[in-house]
């Protein structure tokens, strides 16, 4: 008779082998990452530039430059570019982070010879046409107007504004007038400075042939873009904890965001803090979820995270809770951060978190796109596979004592900024 009350045995996680990246260095010193894997006949080509938000002199310049690349290039109008890409079922995607911006082509492998030249045009000869910028601004302003009615959006932007400050580009709050200020020259100048002189890496993932790689190499060569050298050194972290309450009348939920500025991935406490964060709010079974959702039912979801940039990072807890239980929810959040500073994590719980994180790590390198993203991210942070090996070692060996110490050092609630948006 089958005994259903007993769990099948769970062995210690197997040693995870991390594939070494396959890198070719192109003439101008730019690395080309290749991940030739998977079952699907698709190719992803991504170009990463030193063109993130941090390099903007005013809000939106970096984002708009990135976003407008495919809105007309060379002799082709925005409509023609879209038509050519759509004809081959290709997708063109842009992304703009704080440090880096990227452009990506997703193509069926069988059409890559047709889609690469279009990609080339988009990247090399953007027009930044006045009319297209005006459409972008109209769309952006209306999206912003909608977002300003969302409690979570308001909480996020006020939180970043508080921890980074109004004088930084990341901390400055975007307003409608910033859309109106965008023009051809600003975008074009940003493009010339940060794209033409800032190609950082090329990533190719999916199923491709040597011929495909040769085509991509000659594309990069024809662009003639140069490489930039950015580094990540931890900047000094100045904390300025504040309590901010923003009224959004009639809202049935309140958004809460609590956290502070932190270090980047190179800090010696990075791994232990990441593991600690998982215990607190980094997975479904986390303490915040167990307490505030699964025990009290105050929210649909609550989580915490550590976001990192080249120079620093920030830690945050975020949730939307019933407005009537907002105070109780905040009390429980601090109860959980304090508990981590006062009591060692029980060994059973730590074992669970470790096993969960080993599984999560395997998922994060499964498949060509996921693996390519991992390798790219390491390179952009001037790290190598040994960083991941080190993580796996620390994950296997970390003790409750070490995590207690880490919590005492980094989860002091008197240093947190607290933002609440509600009725």
Partner 1 sequence: MLHYEKFTLENGLTVIVHEDKSTPLVALNILYKVGARDEDPDKTGFAHLFEHLMFGGSINIPNYDEPLQLAGGENNAFTNNDITNYYLTIPATNLETAFWLESDRMLSLAFTEKSLEVQRNVVIEEFKQRYLNQPYGDVWLKLRPLAYKVHPYQWATIGKVTEHIEEATLDYVKAFFKKWYAPNNAVMTIAGNCSLERAKELCNKWFTPIPAVNVPVRDLPKEPVQTEMRELNVSNDVPTDHIYLAFHCCSRYDSDFYATDLLSDVLSRGKSSRMYQKLVKEQKLFTDIGAYMMGELDESLFVVEGKLVNGISIESAENAIFDILETAKTDVSETELLKVKNKALASLVFSEMSIGNKALNLAYFEMLGNADMANQQENLYNSVSSDQIKAIAKRILVKSNCSILRYQAKQHA
| Interface of this chain with partner 1, residues 273 to 312, rule: CB under 8 A | 283-285, 293-300
Residue 108 in the binding site for partner 1 (CB under 8 A) = yes
How far apart CA 268 and CA 104 sit, in angstroms, is: 33
What is the spatial order of strands in the sheet that 417-422 belongs to? 243-247, 417-422, 253-262, 313-322, 299-308
Instruction: Report the nearest approach of partner 1 to the CB of residue 143 (Å).
Output: 7
Between 10 and 238, CB nearer to partner 1 = 10
How far apart CA 324 and CA 422 sit, in angstroms, is: 10
Q: Could you write out the three-class secondary structure of 184-216? A: HHHHHHHHHHHHCCCEEEEEEEECCCHHHHHHH
Between 220 and 329, CB nearer to partner 1 = 329
Question: Using an 8 Å Cβ cutoff, are 200 and 97 in contact?
Answer: no
Q: Match 């600003």 to its residue by tokens.
A: 186
Between 360 and 415, CB nearer to partner 1 = 360
Between 13 and 400, CB nearer to partner 1 = 13
Instruction: Report the nearest approach of partner 1 to the CB of residue 223 (Å).
Output: 23
CB atoms within 10 A of CB 263: 21
C-alpha torsion 152→244→256→158, nearest 10: 30
Q: Match 């993203």 to its residue by tokens.
A: 373
Instruction: Report the nearest approach of partner 1 to the CB of residue 8 (Å).
Output: 4
What are the φ and ψ backbone dihedral angles of 353, each rounded to 5 degrees?
Answer: -65, -40
End-to-end CA distance of the chain: give it in Å, rounded.
57
What are the φ and ψ backbone dihedral angles of 179, each rounded to 5 degrees?
Answer: -70, -40
Sites for partner 1 among residues 119-158 (CB under 8 A) = 135, 138-139, 142-143, 145-146, 148-151
Instruction: Report the nearest approach of partner 1 to the CB of residue 4 (Å).
Output: 4
Sites for partner 1 among residues 251-270 (CB under 8 A) = 251-253
Instruction: Report the nearest approach of partner 1 to the CB of residue 183 (Å).
Output: 18
Between 2 and 238, CB nearer to partner 1 = 2
Instruction: Report the nearest approach of partner 1 to the CB of residue 356 (Å).
Output: 4
Residue 363 in the binding site for partner 1 (CB under 8 A) = yes
Residue 106 in the binding site for partner 1 (CB under 8 A) = yes
Residue (of 304, 329, 319) closest to 407 by Cα position: 304
Sites for partner 1 among residues 321-360 (CB under 8 A) = 321-322, 351-353, 355-356, 358-360
Q: Kindly indicate which of the ranges 57-65, 196-204, 222-230, 316-324 contains the residues binding partner 1, using the contact rule CB under 8 A.
A: 316-324
Select the residue interacting with partner 1 from 78, 94, 377, 413 (CB under 8 A). 78
Sites for partner 1 among residues 366-395 (CB under 8 A) = 366-367, 369
Select the residue interacting with partner 1 from 39, 167, 210, 342 (CB under 8 A). 39
Sites for partner 1 among residues 179-238 (CB under 8 A) = none
What is the spatial order of strands in the sheet that 199-206 belongs to? 22-25, 31-36, 199-206, 42-49, 101-108, 91-96
How far apart CA 237 and CA 258 sit, in angstroms, is: 17
């Amino acid at each position: 008779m089958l005994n259903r009350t007993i769990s099948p045995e769970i062995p210690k996680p197997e040693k995870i082998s991390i594939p070494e990246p396959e890198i070719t260095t192109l003439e101008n010193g730019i690395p080309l990452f290749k991940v030739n894997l998977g079952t699907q006949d698709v190719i992803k080509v991504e170009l990463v530039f030193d063109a993130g938000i941090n390099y903007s002199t005013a809000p939106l310049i970096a984002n708009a430059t990135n976003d407008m690349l495919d809105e007309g290039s060379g002799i082709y109008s925005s409509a023609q570019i879209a038509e050519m890409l759509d004809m081959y079922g290709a997708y063109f995607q842009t992304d703009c982070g704080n440090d880096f911006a990227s452009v990506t082509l997703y193509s069926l492998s069988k059409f890559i010879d047709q889609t690469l030249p279009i990609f080339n045009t988009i990247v090399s000869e953007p027009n930044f046409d006045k009319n297209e910028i005006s459409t972008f601004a109209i769309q952006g302003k209306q999206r912003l107007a909608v977002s300003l009615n969302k409690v979570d959006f308001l909480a996020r932007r006020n939180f970043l504004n508080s921890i980074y400050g109004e004088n930084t580009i990341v901390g400055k709050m975007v307003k409608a007038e910033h859309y109106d200020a965008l023009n051809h020259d600003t975008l074009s100048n940003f493009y010339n400075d940060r794209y033409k002189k800032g190609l950082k890496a090329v990533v190719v993932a999916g199923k491709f042939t040597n011929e495909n790689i040769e085509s991509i190499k000659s594309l990069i060569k024809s662009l003639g873009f140069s490489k930039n050298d950015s580094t990540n050194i931890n900047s000094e972290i100045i904390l300025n904890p504040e309590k901010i309450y923003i009224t959004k009348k009639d809202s049935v939920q309140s958004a809460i965001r609590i956290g502070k500025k932190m270090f980047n991935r190179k800090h010696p406490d990075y791994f232990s803090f990441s593991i600690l964060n998982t215990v607190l709010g980094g997975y479904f079974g986390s303490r915040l979820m167990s307490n505030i959702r699964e025990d009290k039912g105050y929210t649909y979801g609550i989580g915490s995270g550590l976001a990192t940039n080249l120079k620093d990072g920030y830690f945050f807890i975020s949730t939307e809770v019933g407005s009537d239980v907002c105070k109780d929810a905040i009390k429980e959040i601090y109860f959980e951060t304090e508990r981590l500073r006062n009591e060692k994590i029980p060994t059973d719980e730590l074992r669970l978190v470790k096993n969960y994180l080993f599984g999560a790590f395997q998922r994060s390198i499964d498949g060509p796109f996921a693996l390519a993203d991992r390798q790219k991210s390491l390179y952009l942070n001037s790290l190598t596979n040994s960083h991941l090996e080190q993580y796996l070692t620390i994950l296997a060996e970390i003790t409750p004592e070490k995590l207690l110490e880490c919590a005492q050092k980094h989860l002091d609630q008197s240093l947190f900024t607290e933002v609440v948006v509600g009725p």
